[in-house]
Structure 1
């Protein structure tokens, strides 16, 4: 007697979409990840966002081949009755398989060694500039170098968060704490929490934390409806203060980016000292304490408070280059309201990302993130391969009539400011409407 498969419909699968009852489908098989969500290395947010639906493409994107063997323990015994694979998903999975066979996910081309040496040099020059000179301008240059070292360190932290840049997972975790917490003061736990959610729900106004910047910025008038952030679990209130700030956001964008690092420090503290379950909380707090020991001591080595304040401001201003780039990659792309859909995962990545075109010799400056779509489609792929696969991704987008947007750094800035200005003008219209209504 042959084995008879048991099936569930898409509608039945969708019912299992909340904490305490969480199912997902991968390649037509249904898995119960209700308990696994508590210890999932990528956090609970990706699983909660894709609960009750097919998550195959996202699973392929974020997991190495060795992860497939762990799925059997969660198998419910059910298969998806009306399981279909779109043509774009078939092509995407074929491309991912080819990259895997070529060993591209594991080959990093000594990039980590070069980056570590460069970061060490930048940090060394910055410290020497503070300790070995009495010149005001040397001190300001040292501050700028420190800021630029933070930019390069952030790229390393980003790489280590997506794939192992070290020989083992233990050393990789050490690299994460060192590059994130100890050297920059920004918790790797906070980064993973927000960044994984951003990748899964790219440019969803209520699910992607990277677009939730009220009261300072709003990239779409849809945020004027005070929608609820499903990431933070609170309403993004568009109150009179938000309305006023947003109405001038195209003017305040660059000044805010210059001090944007302060918000990252604040978000780190809010998470690490919250009631939320934080992986390796003690280790993350220790790393933050390391940063808040060496950085103030370095600043205090400067001769007076004027130079100290300007040194910190110089370092923060240089890091704004990176904050701006993150915004350029998404602010002027397509946005939507609602949860991500696993069966349109590829399409959402193409519509929610913008590449920054540059010469190959500038790849180190952008840390690979100029290939934003390529990175979103293949987040585990070391950045040294992103330029190589770019023509293949462009070709795939063209085949399926999906956007592949690549602009120069200047053009991307213009588009971002235009997006902010358009929303600002709409906010100003609401201000005048309120004035006229209430006299």
Structure 2
């Protein structure tokens, strides 16, 4: 998701070896404001208020999990959990009280456990193991179609028939390019995130003429909070469209008319 923030000391962080303070969800919910954000990962409470600006995925992405249990998002968005946990330690301020549930609010604990079991089953079946060879052939296929479309115009001229054929070929290659950059953006092809992002920038920037950073900024938020108004950019499309009752009511309150 970009560069890596640096771990460092933080005022109020838990001292090594000292008993951790415990917090209730009611106390945690009070810290979900700009400049004052806590979140919970694996029942431990972290103060990300100042560090959020250095978060490699952006402050908005991590801020969407303010005062919430971010355990599943933390595991899903990071490939090397042992490495990333080093950055959490200076932010640790306590843990959930023993009587508190791991999930806050109306979340169905059994549903969460079912999804975790499903994820583990998919991992055990190696469904997340991509084949770089397949994607290399896919890239070659895309490049071949791009060259073919160019040759049609170059050799036959800009007539209706060559232009229509070139447009048809480019439509297929551009659609495939989008799918390829999507998988690269999810860092799901290569083992190292950097390799994925370098390849994504080539496909997105050179073959499609789009910004990979712009797409990642929006798409990561979509997967962090899918279909949640004001957090998922894919459904926050006012004033062009107003989706659902909440967006209509929000627009009505904010409208000068």
Interval of TM-score (by shorter of Structure 1 and Structure 2): 0.7 to 0.9
Structure 1 counterpart of 2:56: 41
Match runs of 1:73-222 below 5 Å? 73-81=89-97, 82-84=100-102, 86-108=109-131, 110-134=133-157, 135-166=159-190, 168-222=192-246
- Give the structure with the larger helix fraction: 1
Distance 1:7 1:55, change over 3 A: same
Give me the TM-score of the superposition, normalised by structure 1.
0.48
Distance 1:193 1:19, change over 3 A: same
Root mean square deviation, CA, Å: 2.7
Structure 2 counterpart of 1:298: none
Structure 1 residues 96-133: Cα deviation after superposition (integer angstroms, max 9, x where no partner): 23333444433336331231122112111111111111
Match runs of 1:365-380 below 5 Å? none
Match runs of 1:250-289 below 5 Å? none
Structure 1 residues 280-332: Cα deviation after superposition (integer angstroms, max 9, x where no partner): xxxxxxxxxxxxxxxxxxxxxxxxxxxxxxxxxxxxxxxxxxxxxxxxxxxxx
Give me the TM-score of the superposition, normalised by structure 2.
0.78
The gaps in structure 1 that reach 5 residues or longer are 229-234, 240-439
Moved more, 59-68 or 24-33: 59-68
Distance 1:136 1:238, change over 3 A: farther
Compare relative contact order (CA 8 Å, sep 6+) and give the higher one, 1 or 2.
Answer: 1
- 3-state SS in 2 of match to 1:210: coil
Distance 1:218 1:238 in 2: 16
Distance 1:90 1:189, change over 3 A: same
Q: Is the 8 A contact 2:132 2:190 kept in 1?
A: no
Distance 1:132 1:178 in 2: 27
Q: Is the 8 A contact 1:46 1:200 kept in 2?
A: yes
1:176 deviation in Å? 1.5
Structure 2 counterpart of 1:224: 248
The gaps in structure 2 that reach 5 residues or longer are 1-16, 104-108
1:174 deviation in Å? 1.9
Q: Say whether residues 1:66 and 2:78 are aligned partners.
A: no
